């Protein structure tokens, strides 16, 4: 019984950390959601800025998965489980960025610098440094937003659980995700671009709203995934152990 509990926590935690780490590094790519699906840009107008569209970081593909893992860990291991995984992920992300910056400072081999591609000659060293050398403010903003978002998520989750009990997992999971992603959307932009790059506050708010619209619909769309994961975990643990873990998580994390 204890072995199954440990295995579940390890698998959920490993998947949580791996997705958070990948999302950070994938985030350097900006893609057009509309063009990806062959659509014309929506050209939204907000806060005096026109022609805004869904130009998003590639990290948005994985952040919803991270928040789903947060809710599942929350359900079975409570506030302490989420905090442990959140701070572990943040520490490993910071460590990864440090190692990347050290690697950027290495002198490249002469034969590696230039590579001939179908699109022409590519400077590999310049490409590596440009892709992985994200600005300090972006890194700080992303890490702070991640931690704040996680702590808000776990608090809202158990606040809603105090009303719903063990039922309505969709309400506490999706509700906590919507609140935490709202905060995450604006914190990262505020730190990285308002403080770090001197953007106008109205521009930060406009882009934050566009990003949150996407995150809102994705969070709602992925709600059924929670029930699928819940079902599979219950099959793995067995009814008795599953109910025991959920009860212990709720009691240890209750809002007093």
Q: Per DSSP, what are the bridge partners of residue 44?
A: 52
The tens digit of pLDDT for each residue in 192-231 reads 888 887 888 898 889 889 889 998 899 889 889 989 999 9
The tens digit of pLDDT for each residue in 9-25 reads 999 999 999 999 998 88
Considering the entire predicted model, what is its pTM? 0.86
For position 1, what pLDDT does the model report? 58
Q: How far apart are the first and last CA of the chain?
A: 30
- The CA distances from residue 118 to 48, 128, 131, in Å, are 42, 18, 20
Alpha helices per DSSP H over 39-115: 63-104, 110-113
State in words which class domain 2-106+134-253 has: mainly alpha
Chain position carrying tokens 């007093």: 256
Give residue 51's region: left, alpha or beta (phi > 0; psi -120 to 50).
left
Q: What's the rounded Cα separation, in Å, for the pair 11 and 196?
A: 36
- φ, ψ of residue 30 to 5 degrees: the values are -105, 130
Please determine, for residue 255, whether its predicted confidence score (pLDDT) is greater than 60.
Answer: no
Please determine, for residue 44, whether its predicted confidence score (pLDDT) is greater than 70.
Answer: yes
Please determine, for residue 67, whether its predicted confidence score (pLDDT) is greater than 70.
Answer: yes
């Amino acid at each position: 019984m204890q072995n199954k509990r440990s295995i579940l926590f390890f698998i959920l935690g490993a998947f949580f950390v791996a997705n958070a780490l990948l999302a950070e590094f994938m985030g350097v790519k900006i893609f057009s959601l509309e063009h990806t699906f062959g659509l014309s840009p929506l050209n939204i107008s907000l806060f005096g800025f026109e022609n805004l569209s869904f130009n998003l970081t590639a990290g948005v593909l994985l952040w919803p998965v991270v928040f789903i893992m947060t809710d599942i860990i929350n359900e079975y291991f409570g506030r302490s489980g989420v905090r442990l995984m959140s701070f572990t992920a943040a520490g490993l992300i910071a460590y990864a960025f440090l190692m990347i910056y050290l690697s950027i400072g290495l002198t490249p081999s002469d034969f590696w610098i230039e590579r001939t591609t179908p699109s022409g000659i590519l400077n590999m060293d310049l490409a590596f440094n440009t892709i992985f050398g994200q600005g300090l403010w972006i890194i700080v903003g992303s890490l702070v937003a991640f931690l704040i978002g996680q702590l808000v998520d776990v608090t809202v989750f158990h606040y809603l659980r105090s009303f719903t009990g063990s039922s309505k997992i969709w309400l506490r999971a999706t509700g906590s995700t919507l609140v935490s992603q709202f905060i995450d959307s604006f914190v990262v932009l505020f730190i990285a671009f308002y403080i770090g790059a001197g953007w106008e506050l109205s521009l930060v708010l406009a882009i934050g709203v566009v990003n949150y619209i996407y995150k809102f619909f994705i969070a709602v769309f992925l709600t059924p995934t929670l029930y699928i994961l819940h079902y599979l975990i219950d099959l793995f643990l067995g009814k008795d152990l599953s109910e025991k873990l959920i009860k212990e998580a709720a009691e240890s994390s209750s809002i007093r």
